[in-house]
Amino acid sequence: MEYLPQLMRRGGKNFSVEFFPPRDDLGEQNLWSTIRYLESRRPGFVSVTYGAGGTNRDRTVRVTERIAKETSLTPVAHLTAVGQTREELEDIMARYAAAYVHNVLVVRGDPKGVAAGQEGTWEPTPGGINSANELLALAKEKHRFCVGVAAFPDKHPRFETHAEDDAHFATKVRAGADFGVSQMLFSADSFVRMRDRYAQQGLDIPVLPGIMPITSWAGLQRMLQLSGQPAPADVMARFEKYRDDCKATGELGVELALKIARDLIVNGVEWLHFFPNNRASTLFILLDELGYYPFTRQAQYRIG
Ligand SMILES: Cc1cc2nc3c(=O)[nH]c(=O)nc-3n(C[C@H](O)[C@H](O)[C@H](O)COP(=O)(O)OP(=O)(O)OC[C@H]3O[C@@H](n4cnc5c(N)ncnc54)[C@H](O)[C@@H]3O)c2cc1C
C-alpha cells in the first residue's frame, strides 16, 4: 500500500470521501451500503469524522476499524481532543494501529454545542490535551501514523487575518503534519489562493479541497453552525429561495459542487475530497459528471 501523501503528490484525478459517524443502528446499516457501493469507485481514501463535541465516538472507532479489516478501502480516522484523557486517546490510537489503520486526521474539536471559533469556550479535560498539535505529537510518537490536519481557506473564525491562520497552519507543518484537508468550500478561489500562499511560504504538504454537495437547507444551516463559517450572501440567497423544495435544493447543490470542482481542476487541483452526507447517489452523479472513474489505490491512472 502506498503512503497517502505520496499518492496525493503524484497528481492526476483522484478523490476521497468523508463520512460522519451514524447516530443509530439504521444509520450505520445505511452507511455500510454506501461504503460497499463506493468500493467499486476506488477512492484514494475514506475518512470518518469524530462526532462534534466528542459524540458518537464509539461508532467512529468501530466503523473505521471495520473499513480497515473488511473492505478494500484505505481509512483515515479522525481524532479530536474533546472530553478525553491522554490515556483514552492513546488507547484509541492503539486500537487503530492494531486494526492496521495507518492514517489519522487530528483536529482539536470544539466543546459540545459550541460552534468553531467561539474562543474562550474550550474546556480542557483533566489529564487531556488541548490542541491539534499535541494530538499530532502523540500520533507520531506512539505509532508513527501518517497524520493529516485541518486547513481553512476562508480562515478559521478565531483568526482575524489569513496571515494569522497561515502562521498557525505553519506550526502544524513544522510539527510534522503529512497532509491537510480543507474546510468545506463555497468557491474554488479561496482554496487556490490558500494553496498559492502556502507554496510561497514553503508549506510543502499536499492539501485537499473539501467539497460538500448541499442537499438540504437544514443540512447547510447545520454545517455553517458547526464550522462557525459564514456562507457568501449570493450562495445563501440562491439556496434560501428553494429552502422548502428538496429536489431543487439538491440540483442546486450538485450545480455548485460541480462548479467548484471544475474550477479547482482548471487550477491544477485534481484530488477532490467530498463530504457526501453518508450517501452515494449525489457523489456518484458528481464523479460521473467529472469523469472521475475508474481509479485504483495502488496504481493510479491518469485520465484525460
Ligand atoms: C477537514 C476538517 C475535518 C474536521 N473534522 C472534525 C471532526 O472529525 N470532529 C470535530 O469535532 N471537528 C472536526 N473539525 C472541526 C475542528 O475541530 C474545528 O475547526 C476546531 O475549531 C479547530 O480545530 P483545529 O484542529 O484547527 O484546532 P487547533 O489547531 O488545535 O487550534 C485550536 C486553538 O488552539 C490554539 N493553539 C494550537 N496550538 C497552539 C500552540 N502551540 N500555541 C498556542 N496556541 C495554540 C490555536 O491558536 C487555536 O486557538 C474538522 C475541521 C476540518 C477543516
> In this predicted structure, what is the pLDDT of residue 226?
84
> In this predicted structure, what is the pLDDT of residue 162?
97
CA 284 from centroid of its chain's CA atoms = 18
> In this predicted structure, what is the pLDDT of residue 239?
95
Q: Ligand 1 mean position to 291 CA, how many Å?
A: 33
Q: How many CB atoms lie within 10 A of CB 294?
A: 10
**Residue of 108, 156, 226, 271 with the most ligand 1 atoms within 8 Å of its CB, for mutation:** 108
CA dist 183 and 190 (Å) reads: 11
* Mean pLDDT per 10-residue interval, the chain, length 304 residues: 88 94 93 94 94 80 96 96 94 95 95 70 89 97 95 93 97 98 97 98 97 94 87 94 94 97 98 95 95 61 39
Residue in 2, 18, 141, 255 annotated catalytic: 18
Beta-carbon contacts of 302 under 8 Å, excluding residues fewer than 6 positions away, are: 11, 12, 13
Instruction: Calculate ∠ Cα 68-31-38, nearest 5°.
Output: 65
CA dist 213 and 216 (Å) reads: 9
CA dist 207 and 4 (Å) reads: 12
